[in-house]
Amino acid sequence: MLSLCCVKLIEDKTMKTILYILFAAIMMAGCNNSKATKYFDSVDATRFAEVIENEKVQIIDTRTPAEFNEGHIPGAVNIDIDGEEFAAKIAELDKSRPVAVYCRGGRRSKEAAEHMVSCGLEVTELADGILSWKGAVEK
């Protein structure tokens, strides 16, 4: 009886060790995912202005439609990060063209940029949002 308990205890410890090693290996393999190592550039308004001079850049405003209508960077397309269609609209963006993204103060655009990078887009984000923008604004 005692030997049966010892065998069971050893089997449980062995199984736990095997499961732990397997779990660790899976987690480490996930760390090598190339998408996980991609980042976006978060830049000031001066650098952002330089980035959007490139005609190929897709300019995305992640604010609400009401905020967008109050004034936006010329050429920007409104994709509200809180809108139901956000993920679908991001998926429709041209992956061969870079993206410049902004919001009001920088929080929403950072969240959007993370999502865009995970979709395979090259992204530059306006760090402090349109509040820091010194360039032209369209209404």
Active site residues: 103
* Backbone phi, psi, residue 90, to 5°: -65, -40
Distance in angstroms (rounded) separating the CA atoms of residues 30 and 1: 44
The DSSP element (H or E) to which 100 belongs, if any, is strand 99-102
Mapped onto helix, strand or coil, the DSSP state of residue 37 is helix
In the chain, the amino acid numbered 33 is N
CA distance 8 to 57: 63
Beta bridge partners, 56, equal none
Spatial CA neighbour of 106 closest among 45, 57, 65: 45
Q: Rg for the chain (alpha carbons), in Å? A: 23
